[in-house]
Amino acid sequence: MTKTRGGFRDFFISVRLTIVLLAAIALGALLGTIIPQQEAAEAFSTRLHPALLAVFQAFQLFNVYNSAWFILLLVLLAVNLIACSVDRFPAAWRLFRGGAAPDGTERLADLPLERIVAAERPAAEEASRLEALLRKRCRRVQKVETPQGFVLAGGKGTFSRFGVFVVHLGVLLLIAGGLAGALFGVRGYVEIAEGETSNTLAFRGGKGAETLPFAIRCDRFTVEYYENGAPKVFRSDLTFLEKGKVVRQGALLVNHPISFGGLRFYQSSYGLLPGGHLTLSYVRGSGKINERETAVGDAFDLPGAEGRVEVLRAENDLMRMGPAVKLFVTSTRGNVQFWVFQNIERIKDANPGVLTQVPLMNPALFAPYLFSMQKKGERFYTVLQAARDPGVPLVAGGAALLVAGLMVTFFFSHRRFRIVLEEEKGKSRIGLAGSSNRDPVGLEKEMNRLLAEIGKAEGRS
Amino acid sequence: MSDSAILSGVTFVYLLSFLLYLVRMVRGREFWGSAASGIARIGFLLHSATLLLRWKSSYDLGIGHAPLANFYESLSFFAWAVLLLYLIIEWRTRSRSLGVFVIPVAFLLLAFASISPGVNDRIQPLIPALQSNWLTVHVLTCFLGYASFAMAFALGIMYLLKGKGQDGGKEEGAFSRLIPAADAVEELLYQSVVLGFVLLSLGIMTGSVWAQYAWGSYWSWDPKETWSLITWIVYAVMLHARSVRGWRGKRMAVMSLIGFASVLFTYLGVNYLDSLHSYF
């Protein structure tokens, strides 16, 4: 660190830069969680003052995670990581190869008394015994002769100093994998009606489409529910066809993707096709049930001119509770609007009291009439998500390195020991010093054990 | 007796334990400490029993899954992990001083689970996206990590109080005297952050693997994902500042508070943003 370096290099090897970059990335990520992003931003942006909107757009705040500045921060972090690692690696490597040899100036007088034991034999004999003792723990032991006796040095766990490089390599691979996925990855949707075949992959965000070299048929789509109304299974039975021939068949479920033709397919969503016909039934008190085939815009008078019903909307799957129609009833008693759900019985069972809490869902809101609806002869369509992401292997490798590196860095430590022997009148005094790059408690314990072994062998007083 | 009824009881056991730890700190008598610690252990055993009972009940209902599948279950597991780590630390360090700072965290988590009307304590079946073994590993690693950060948070408060007790120049009060030496607190704080950081990294990683299977994308900048990254960065900065720039003592204690605030926002605050993780 004493060499003078160019300002540019100094700038990139500083950990202060790392900390500033990490803080900036965290702040940018935070902005993305409070400002609506991409599709969600449209409604929000109309409420902004035009000047503010211009600022938001200039800084790409509606697409933070793909914005030029966010990617620039990631790239700068990568450069910073590489620079830091290149700068620090040689020192770690030297430590690993040679260890720091004792220079012979270590003296017993510098050590605390509780780290010193006395031995009966001369220093040379004790030194060879202790060298063997130290070698049991340390990969490399060095011995230096001093005017007073000997100094032995040994280290263990040097490899833990490489953990940090492994972690940083992992982070680099994660960034590289993420960028590779963003640049070369493909992500889109294939929408197929039951019984039909499709070979069109529509890219996400409405950015065009691709014709696949194979076709997919949806033989059947199934949705099953638990008793409480929560969905249990979404399942598409698919057939993959090449030139009209069946190549593969399989069931696609959530959490069980299918790989085919270089793409991975995921069960993404589903829906009911328009079509089929809508039947609205209504009954006055305990009277006769009237049934009527209907559609949005249909309007009719209730018997006895008690009111006029208009069908405002029809939904295939309203709030994930199945088909529903919205009715508007005008009468001399006032006007009401409410939804009529096909699955009203199941909704009531799953949410007791819902009809009083949410009158908008009560099919009997226009008393004494009770409405119900049914869809007949309808078909599902399934939506498959398809993805090809060349960054995934890099990301997986990066994550594995990151975790392995963290374990090595944090659960091991580089401990160095020095044994100082000084001879006095044919006997010797032995002192132990130690240092560690982390975990002082662990070092303390190991030094106590080592000191016990040093004193235990022979002739201690 | 249902597991959630027992768990409400455990909430009060933890409250009692906290009060006894508090009496120990004020009166300075170890008798109250051993009582507090005994009560905490009983609470922990009962708490473990509720987890097992709930696990078994879910199989009896025919929707068997580990009790780590909704917000209520995550609160309970979080509190359990806090107790687990605390009891290990108490046993290893032979010091009961951390109890008065940690047990209230577990108590508040359980109180929230039992009392808040928005928290559904029923055993729910797994919707398709949650039907994955990665769910268990992901929740396990994340919440053990959160619990380690809770430990660091408590140690940070303890460190700052100790510093305050010594600053006055007067004789240390009983409360502050019972807090172990600042060095020991700091080392434990650092180790808790390290453990939490490794577990959080594993948690994010297992979550990504799962997302890759379920949603076809290992990372989608969902608010909870993003906030877990922010939390990860806060602790990464803390660890770098310590090892490279030599931050110690008060700065580390303050960072542990900032970090835990970020953990809490990741866990609870994000629910006010629109998220894939709405089940937790």
Q: How far apart are CA A56 and CA A340, in angstroms?
A: 42
pLDDT top residue among A187 and B149: B149
Residue B275: what pLDDT?
54
Residue-level length of chain A: 461
Mean pLDDT of chain B: 91
Tell me whether B237 touches chain A (CB under 8 Å): yes
Taking 50 as the pLDDT cut, the residues of chain A under it are: 1-3, 459-461
What is the rounded average pLDDT of the residues B236-261? 93
What is the C-alpha end-to-end distance of chain A, expressed in Å? 47
Residue B175 has pLDDT above 80, yes or no: no
CA distances from A43 to A35, A37, A38, A399, B172 (A): 12, 11, 10, 37, 59
The CA distance from B122 to A48, in Å, is 42
Q: Domain segments of chain A: what residues?
A: 7-87, 98-157+413-456, 182-273+381-402, 277-378
Q: Which site among B63, B185, B217 would you substitute to test the A interface, given the most A Cβ atoms closer than 10 Å to its Cβ?
A: B217
CB–CB of B214 and A264 under 8 A? no
Residue B127 has its nearest CB partner, among A37, A231, A395, at A231
Does residue B1 have a pLDDT over 90? no
Token pair 């990683």 is at which residue?
B205
- Rounded Cα distance between B191 and A197, Å, is 57
Mean pLDDT of B141-155: 97
Distance of alpha carbon A141 from the chain centroid: 45
Tell me the chain B residues in contact with residue A224 when contact means C-beta distances shorter than 8 Å: none
The pairs formed by B131-135 with CB atoms below 8 angstroms and a separation of 24 or more are B131/A254, B131/A255, B132/A255, B132/B210, B132/B213, B132/B214, B134/B206, B134/B207, B134/B209, B134/B210, B134/B213, B135/B65, B135/B66, B135/B68, B135/B69, B135/B210
User: If you search the block for the tokens 């994010």, which residue do you land on?
Assistant: B204
Which one of B194, B205, B233 has the shortest CB-CB distance to A399? Answer: B205
Whether residue B123 contacts residue B61, with contact meaning beta carbons closer than 8 Å, is answered with yes
- pLDDT at residue B46, as a whole number: 97
3-state secondary structure B184-217: HHHHHHHHHHHHHHHHHHHHHHHHHHHHHHHCCC
Q: What's the gap in Å between the CA of A276 and the closest CA on chain B?
A: 28
Instruction: Give which of A14, A33, A201, A441 to mutate to test B binding, by max B Cβ within 10 Å.
Output: A33
Flag whether the pTM goes above 0.90.
no
More confident residue, B142 or A355: B142
Nearest-neighbour CA in chain B from A124: distance (Å): 39
Put simply, the answer to whether B125 touches A226 (Cβ < 8 Å) is yes
From A210-214, B10-14, B64-68, B268-272, the region with the lowest mean pLDDT = B268-272
pLDDT in tens, B18-70: 999 999 998 888 899 999 999 999 999 999 999 999 999 999 988 889 999 99
Q: Does B216 touch chain A (CB under 8 A)?
A: yes
pLDDT of amino acid B219: 93
Interchain CB contact of B133 with A (< 8 Å): no
Q: Do B212 and A392 touch (CB under 8 A)?
A: yes
- pLDDT at residue B171 greater than cutoff 90: no
Rounded-to-integer distance, Cα B180 and Cα B183, Å: 8
Q: Measure in Å the smallest separation between the Cα of A410 and chain B Cα atoms.
A: 7
Predicted local distance difference test score (pLDDT) of residue A459:
45
Nearest to A26 among B201, B233, B241 (CB): B233
Count of CB atoms situated within 10 Å of the CB of A279: 15
Please report the pLDDT score of residue A6 as a whole number.
61
Structural domain boundaries of chain B? Answer: 1-123, 127-280
**What local confidence, expressed as pLDDT, does residue B170 receive?**
55
pLDDT in tens, B187-234: 999 999 999 999 999 999 999 999 999 988 999 898 999 999 999 999
Cα separation of A49 and A30, whole Å? 22
Residue with the larger pLDDT of the pair B159 and B270: B159
What is the per-residue pLDDT for A124? 87
DSSP-assigned states of every residue in A377-405: S--EEEEEEEEE-TTHHHHHHHHHHHHHH
For residue A338, the distance in angstroms to the closest alpha carbon of chain B comes to 27
What span, in angstroms and rounded, lies between the C-alpha atoms of B217 and A387?
8
Question: How does pLDDT run across B60-118, given as a tens digit for each residue?
Answer: 988 889 999 999 999 999 999 999 999 999 999 999 999 999 999 999 999 999 888 87
Q: For residues A422 and A149, what is the distance between their CA atoms, to the nearest angstrom? A: 5
Cβ pair A33:B215 closer than 8 A: no
Q: Give the DSSP letter of residue A276.
A: S
> Do residues B127 and A230 touch, judged by C-beta distance below 8 A?
yes
pLDDT score of B278 more than 70: no
A19/B240 CB distance under 8 A:
yes
pLDDT value of residue A207: 79
Task: Give the minimum alpha-carbon distance from B15 to chain A in angstroms, rounded to a whole number.
Answer: 33
pLDDT at A461: 41
Indicate the CATH number for domain A98-157+413-456.
3.30.310.80
Q: Do B202 and A226 touch (CB under 8 A)?
A: no
Q: How far is B170 from chain A (nearest CA, A)?
A: 31
Is ipTM strictly over 0.95?
no
Instruction: Record the tokens describing residue B164, joined without a space.
Output: 């305050």
- Nearest alpha-carbon partner for B195 in B268, B260, B126, B144: B144
